[in-house]
Amino acid sequence: MSDRNQGSRSFLARPERFRPKHANAVRVRARGDRNVPIDGRVVDISTTGVKVLVADESLPREGDGFKTLRFEVDGARRGSGAACVVRSEPLPVDDSPSGLGVVVFRFAQAETALIAALRRHLVYAPYVTDELCDEETRRLPASVDAAGPSILDYYRVDSPDLFAKCNAFYEVVRDLQHKKFYQALYRVTLTSGLDHRITVFNPFRRTEEPMICFDSNSYLGLHLHPRVCEAVKRAIDQVGYGTPSAQLLSGTNRYLRELEETLAAFHGREDAVVFPSGYAANVGALTALVREKDLVVRDRFSHASIHDGARATTSRLRRAYPHDDLAALEEILKEADASGNCMGKLIVTDGVFSMHGRMARLPELSALARRYNAKLMVDEAHATGVIGATGRGLEEHFEVPGAIDVLMGTFSKAPGSMGGYVVGARDLVYYLRFYATTAMFTASLPAATCAGVTEAFRVMQEEPEHRERLWRNVRAFVPALCDAGLIVPTEMQSAIVTVFLGSSKLLWLVSRDLFDAGIKCGSVAFPAVPLGEAIARLAVNARHNADDLARTVEVFTRIGRKYGILGKTAPEVFEIGERLSLDAPLAEQAAERP
């Protein structure tokens, strides 16, 4: 991997950007130190700089100084202080047939007054929606206590108005926005690519800020690998960016065929069928295989797509067993046999459970399936590329090849893209091609995506250093968090690391503090985890470096000390969280920020 992809990317915080309401609304005229004239239109602007589109014959040089820039709008003029050229280049011919160039100026000092004077002619940058606009947030009244009800309280609201539940739930969202929690928890807007270091738009400070990211599912960083990116580019150049046809029509091209062959070989199976997403793979496989008199039984902690897929089947024998309780699973299987009404049986589970990162006990599950003449389906999304000596998942880890009858995986984790698949016996795969409606009645995965994923699987096999670096990171990170006095699992089963917080109120406060300190991670509360078991969820990847991990441990330690949860038991941490208040915006509640 190149130095560019191995090292930490350095992102600098920069203020909120604006654009003119109309393309030619704001013009800039100036003359530089070398007497080079500038006459162009503003593309975007902030308090620290401005981007201007000009004729390329009048491009200044990088480093050229200007005593002032004169902004003209609606016949009025407004001057800035001194500015310096930091970028000056012609646009590509394809983009600029008339010979235009772009010049980026950096102001010598923050031009707050200039932005205020131009503000009525400017609009927010495109990524600043109504969720992020400061005017909207200031108008929001505190309406309800968002810490009280859970998301399930708004699943059903008895009312003749179909949208009553939508209105009630939005009141909770408004309250979270007013109290400065929502953007620390949900829909944080990235202004960079997704990596171990990112930049996000902070709606509270109105700036783009650097953060350490533990939200990426690209465990090996392969979505940035040069070989993968080049494979995607080559495919786009040859066949375009999409494949707008179903697989059974013209959606099967050589890139999809090559991907199917690669997947089957990687997992030691006869064939593979590809779906537009991992969610579609689970729902499609379950609804294709399970009929009215078939038993489908799944682990209660399985991914939502498994629960939805099971509910979407026509089975009258749908069951869920308590998490990892194989004795309860066996009782369900016994009851099904004793009833005399059950035909086929399918056990479904995550291989690595996505919230806590624990592995399913595959050998015991496989033994139960064989004993009761059931088939076993395992979602290997978080295991593929990560678990096992060569990244081939739970079968390799537990040394039970072929234990899984229906092996499902995704491209949105270690392969670093999107899509899902099922591998297995050839007769199973051909059946799914025709009966899994989520693959049959939808457009094929884009050829370029197929090409990139195929290359990602090759890299997994040919460059084990990515997986090795990932596990070095996990083995360094977890003990450091534990030594700090935080409650983390001591058995490192996957790249998913959790910090126990218990109370959802503590989770929201800690999440906002983490956001303020530049740490982006998952905030998981009920119903994704049981009531009283809220967690901060961190997905470690191979591109995290020692500085990322040390900084994160330092921030968690300071936050833990602030709330008094270091060295406490789980019940004590929960009680501490429950005593906290969310009545006031967090900025007014905390005396200091970590």
| CA-angle at 570, arms to 566 and 571, nearest 5° | 115
Across 319-328, b (16+ Cβ under 10 Å) vs e yields: bbbebbebeb
CB contact at 8 A, 100 and 91: yes
Q: Encoding tokens for residue 328? A: 């309860």
d(CA 392, CA 585): 47
**Strand (E) positions, 192-308?**
197-202, 207-213, 271-275, 295-299
Q: How many CA atoms lie within 13 A of 459 on its CB side?
A: 26
Distance CA 401, CA 394 (A): 9
Residue 141 neighbours by CB under 8 Å, 6+ apart: 174, 178
Dihedral (CA of 48, 54, 60, 62) sign: positive
Question: β-pairing, 295-299 with 49-55?
Answer: unpaired
Query: What is the CA 143 to chain-centroid distance, rounded?
Result: 30
| Active-site residue, from 88, 305, 315, 354 | 354
Q: Which residue has the tokens 């294709």?
A: 288
Distance from C-alpha of 34 to C-alpha of 32, rounded to nearest angstrom: 5
Nearest residue to 297 via CA among 288, 285, 289, 306: 306
Dist. CA 92–CA 323, nearest whole Å: 57
Query: Is 413 part of the annotated catalytic residue set?
Result: yes
Cβ-based neighbour number of residue 401 at 10 Å: 11
Question: What is d(CA 280, CA 286) in angstroms, rounded to the nearest whole number?
Answer: 10
Catalytic-labelled residue, pool 179, 375, 382, 397: 382
Comparing CA positions, the residue from 27, 438, 111, 456 lying closest to residue 259 is 456
Amino acid at 249: L
Is 397 a catalytic site residue?
no
In one-letter notation, the amino acid at residue 541 is: N
Give the burial string for 47-78 (b: 16+ CB within 10 Å, else e).
bbbbbbbbebeebbeeebebeebbbbbeeeeb
Amino acid occupying residue 425: A
Residue pointed to by tokens 């013209």: 250
> Catalytic annotation on 382?
yes
CB 420 within 8 A of CB 280: yes
Catalytic residue (choose from 196, 225, 303, 413): 413
Q: Please spell the DSSP secondary structure of 220-248, one letter per residue.
A: T-GGG-HHHHHHHHHHHHHH-S---SBTT
The phi and psi torsions of 48 (rounded to 5 degrees) equal: -110, -10
Q: Give catalytic residues, as residue numbers.
A: 354, 382, 413
